[in-house]
Amino acid sequence: MSPARLPLVVGLMPTQFVAPRVRPHTLERSAHVERLSDATAPGQVTLLVAGAGWGKSTLLALWHARDPRPDRCGWFSIDPADNELTRFWACMLAALATVDPGLSSAASRLLAAFEPTVLDDVVPALLNELMGMDEPVTLVLDDYQVITNRAIQQSVQLFVEHLPTMLRLVIASRRRPALPVAKLRARGSLVDLRIDGLRLSRAEAAELLRAQSHTELTDSEVEIIYDRTEGWVAGLHLASLSIGADPHPHDRVNSFADGDRSIGEYLEDEVLNRQPAEIRSFLQQTSILHRLNPSVCDAVTRQANSAELLGRIEDEQLFLVPQHRERSSYRYHHLFGDVLNADLHHAHPELVSELHHRAAEWHSANGEPQEAVHHALASQDSAMAAELIATHSLRSCLHGEVETVLGWLHSLGVERCQADVRLCLARAMVAFAGGRIAEMSRWAGLAEAAVDRPGVSVELVSSTRALLGLTKWSAAYSDGEVTLSLKIAQETNRQRHIPAPWRAGTHTVLGWSLYRSGQFRAAQEMLSNAIVLADEDGDVLNAMISYGIQSIIAAANGLPHEAERLASQSESVSANNALGQHFDRWGASFARGWLALTQQENARGRQHIEHALEYVRRGPRSLEVAEMLTALSMAEESLGDAAASAQHLIEAQRILANCPDPGYLLADPRKGSPKLQEPKAAEQYPGWASLTEAEMLISGLVSEGLTNRAIASKLSLSQHTIDSHLKHTFTKLDIRSRVQLTRVVLANLPRTRHP
């Protein structure tokens, strides 16, 4: 039935019942169209729910254009005027009538009757008529978010709960419709496509931007725009128009990260201005947050209904991005967040500092120092910011967040840092982590001067002494004074109390100097202690370094499995923290390179050593640079590249000439043209030969990871006997741990016998 045959309803627009035409040069979203085609089936409801500008209508138009039976598809583009019960159902019937006028004749007559009841009369009649269809029919309802009338929502709920098996219902909406979603999903009658199903891929975004801007954008320029828009179709479209209209399009791209007026105006008109006062106020106040959850939102807005409001905002599809599957925290879409923040500064500039102050207090109380400091600085409460930075900077630095801490300290300024011993220590720690020895010495001196002030705690005095020891060690080691660095490290570790977070660092530098002094066993033990302390203190930097040096010692001792295990531990620490590009990440790569050379895998060895050299050149490690240049020279000589080998050896010798006491180097340029020696025999423990057969056997089982109880069961002995054997073994070998025993067994593996 056509709209003209519905006398009780006037003003129906024929264009509402026609699928929108696909514009020329519209991006062909083939994968999404195919997914939609596969998802829609007779007897099912398909939901496309996303906010403004995500391309719902365009995707449906593309899908409809490729439908092999477009004549079997009814279309209803809903207008605000359709939010009235009789009119809505008149439009529904009109849409179905475009497929077949006879599909809804009985329902149409009932609707035209005097005082019809939609729930009791019209909907049941329509369902009965549709049950008799021989061919599938599709009905598309676009812009369903317009429907807020509770009576319409109830009638549509009834309709979808009894959806005929030959009808496909597709609903596109900016907000989650009031439908029995859980029930439909449970019986397999629902397909739910959200933003992730509509988001443009990077390849699609690049195609759209280049085509619509008529500009040959580079991949990096596309990345800038994509990262800001997050695949939002309207945002990418508006960005392409803005770029194409600019006489300097590439400059326009580079400034895109700072915002785009056309996108801001679109979001303000299409989204923000349409929100009720309560929602808009909440959006404004929470726009300062990087991450939203009900608790922090309550703290910032000083209200207790944030959970409810976040739920409403998510249902309204207001560019709220879930951070977890369980939807416990969110963030705003980057562009929407910018618009909200601008709206806050325009409407309530006097409130901004107070909101940041509230956020800083909440994050500090909930153990989130980075967010707390960010908001304290933004609140312009310098005293609060200084206290938070002084409290958290050392710990954050040891977690690998050096650049973050450096930014905090720069925000405070030099004078405020000089006035607080804790901030002097933080500045020195940042310099130490960055390999800036002169700067570290300067701030260590300021800290030393500051500890004489009244009220400085014993803990800070001890921290300052440990820092001074690390500073002196760094200067001596960087100058190639290994014996002096060892002496300084030993004196520092004799300090009665070394507080966290300095304990792991003092042990690491002592182990490092012991290694350079050729004292492998002592170095291994000290570095193992450093790792234990680093784990306790969260000191990822010194954990990474200690594992790396241990892996080199294992490689030098011809223990490939142990070296690989330790190298993997070092790289795991760096990968899981902000240490991926740190100059002291060299250890693992060098250990792997050396192992490859000893196994005659020279090309692989050269590759690892080149990586290690790339890292270590970024810092002040002259001895390590010379060592790796020599190892690289060895690899190149073995590969027949004599010119490169000679060049790297000469450079290594020149560096080492400026190091008065370089100590032990695994690859030593002082020995002239390098020749790779046979793999060094594992360090022999004098007590090994004195072990009995039983002690060797038990030691071998320990090295396989068996507990004393498991060993006792395996050998049919008492656990007391096993304990006694191990006690004697530890005494004979002068060791203290099962890890050390495992190393001894690996070093003497050919002599170990198992049952």
The alpha carbon of residue 75 and the mean position of all alpha carbons in its chain are separated, in whole angstroms, by 42
Radius of gyration for the alpha carbons in the chain, expressed in angstroms and rounded:
36
What is the pLDDT confidence band of residue 677, given thresholds at 50, 70 and 90? Answer: very low
In a 10 Å sphere around its CB, with 0-12 CB exposed, 13-18 middle and 19+ buried, how is residue 675 labelled? exposed
In the β-sheet with 73-77, what is the strand arrangement from edge to edge?
73-77, 137-142, 167-173, 45-49, 190-193
What does the block give as tokens for 416? 């405020």
Q: What's the CA gap between 353 and 379, in Å, rounded?
A: 4
Q: What's the CA gap between 577 and 332, in Å, rounded?
A: 26
CATH domain 473-671 topology: 1.25.40
Q: What's the CA gap between 37 and 31, in Å, rounded?
A: 10
What is the pLDDT confidence band of residue 10, given thresholds at 50, 70 and 90? Answer: very low
Decide if 593 contacts 558 (C-beta within 8 A).
no
In 3D space, the residue among 618, 617, 659, 616 whose CA is nearest the CA of residue 516 turns out to be 659
What does the block give as tokens for 755? 């049952």
Tell me the one-letter amino acid at 207.
E
Helix (H, G, I), strand (E, B) or coil at 673: coil
Residue 399 vs residue 184, higher pLDDT: 184
Most confident of the ranges 81-90, 283-292, 665-674 = 283-292
Decide if 504 contacts 527 (C-beta within 8 A).
no
Q: What's the CA gap between 298 and 315, in Å, rounded?
A: 19
Decide if 628 contacts 667 (C-beta within 8 A).
yes
Helix (H, G, I), strand (E, B) or coil at 677: coil
Section 665-683 average pLDDT: 62
CA distances from 173 to 116, 332, 691 (A): 28, 20, 79
Residue 412 vs residue 36, higher pLDDT: 412
Residue 312's contacts (CB-CB under 8 Å, 6 or more residues apart) are 279
Strands (E), 178-260: 190-193
CA distances from 725 to 164, 429, 753 (A): 80, 46, 16
State which CATH number among 3.30.1330, 2.30.30, 1.10.10, 1.10.287 fits the domain covering 271-380: 1.10.10
3-state secondary structure 112-165: HCCCCCHHHHHHHHHHHHHHCCCCCEEEEEECHHHCCCHHHHHHHHHHHHCCCC
Q: Is the pLDDT of residue 753 over 60?
A: no
- Give per-residue pLDDT as tens, 177-190: 888 888 888 888 88
- Give per-residue pLDDT as tens, 52-69: 778 788 888 888 888 767
Q: What's the CA gap between 191 and 40, in Å, rounded?
A: 7
What is the pLDDT confidence band of residue 133, given thresholds at 50, 70 and 90? Answer: confident
Residue 689's contacts (CB-CB under 8 Å, 6 or more residues apart) are none
Q: What's the CA gap between 103 and 132, in Å, rounded?
A: 9
What is the pLDDT confidence band of residue 378, given thresholds at 50, 70 and 90? Answer: very high
Decide if 589 contacts 612 (C-beta within 8 A).
yes
Lowest mean pLDDT among 9-13, 166-170, 502-506, 679-683: 679-683
What is the pLDDT confidence band of residue 6, given thresholds at 50, 70 and 90? Answer: very low
686-751: CATH class:
mainly alpha
In a 10 Å sphere around its CB, with 0-12 CB exposed, 13-18 middle and 19+ buried, how is residue 219 labelled? exposed
Q: What are phi and psi of 481, to 5 degrees?
A: -105, 80
The reply to whether 271-380 and 686-751 are identical in fold is: yes
- Give per-residue pLDDT as tens, 480-515: 999 999 999 999 999 888 988 889 999 999 999 999
Domain ranges of the chain: 3-197, 202-269, 271-380, 402-456, 473-671, 686-751
What is the pLDDT confidence band of residue 708, given thresholds at 50, 70 and 90? Answer: confident
Helix (H, G, I), strand (E, B) or coil at 168: strand
Q: What's the CA gap between 613 and 649, in Å, rounded?
A: 14
Q: What's the CA gap between 639 and 644, in Å, rounded?
A: 10
Decide if 310 contacts 317 (C-beta within 8 A).
no
Q: Is the pLDDT of residue 240 over 80?
A: no
Q: What does DSSP assign to residue 169?
A: E
In a 10 Å sphere around its CB, with 0-12 CB exposed, 13-18 middle and 19+ buried, how is residue 672 labelled? exposed
Residue 211 vs residue 147, higher pLDDT: 147
The pLDDT > 70 percentage for the chain reads: 92
Q: What's the CA gap between 259 and 686, in Å, rounded?
A: 71
Q: What's the CA gap between 624 and 685, in Å, rounded?
A: 28
What is the pLDDT confidence band of residue 237, given thresholds at 50, 70 and 90? Answer: confident
Give the pLDDT score at 649: 93
Give the pLDDT score at 673: 55
DSSP readout, 585-631? GHHHHHHHHHHHHHTT-HHHHHHHHHHHHHHHTTTT-HHHHHHHHHH
Give the pLDDT score at 3: 41
Q: What does DSSP assign to residue 199?
A: P
The pLDDT > 90 percentage for the chain reads: 35
What is the pLDDT confidence band of residue 12, given thresholds at 50, 70 and 90? Answer: low
CATH code assigned to 3-197? 3.40.50.300
- Give per-residue pLDDT as tens, 414-456: 888 888 888 888 888 888 877 888 888 898 888 888 887 787 8
Lowest mean pLDDT among 79-83, 545-549, 552-556, 585-589: 79-83
Section 713-740 average pLDDT: 83
Task: Determine if the peptide bond prior to 501 is cis (ω within 30°).
Answer: yes
Section 607-611 average pLDDT: 96
DSSP readout, 431-491? HHHTT-HHHHHHHHHHHHHHTTSTT--HHHHHHHHHHHHHHHHHHHHHTTBHHHHHHHHHH
- Give per-residue pLDDT as tens, 200-219: 888 888 888 888 778 888 88
Q: What's the CA gap between 726 and 720, in Å, rounded?
A: 10
Q: Is the pLDDT of residue 145 over 60?
A: yes
**How many helices, marked H, and strands, marked E, lie in the chain?**
37, 7
Give the pLDDT score at 672: 64
Average pLDDT, the chain: 84
Q: Is the pLDDT of residue 577 over 90?
A: no
Q: What's the CA gap between 645 and 660, in Å, rounded?
A: 24
Residue 491's contacts (CB-CB under 8 Å, 6 or more residues apart) are 469
Q: What's the CA gap between 250 and 71, in Å, rounded?
A: 46
Give the pLDDT score at 543: 95
Give the pLDDT score at 685: 60
Residue whose tokens read 């050390």 = 740
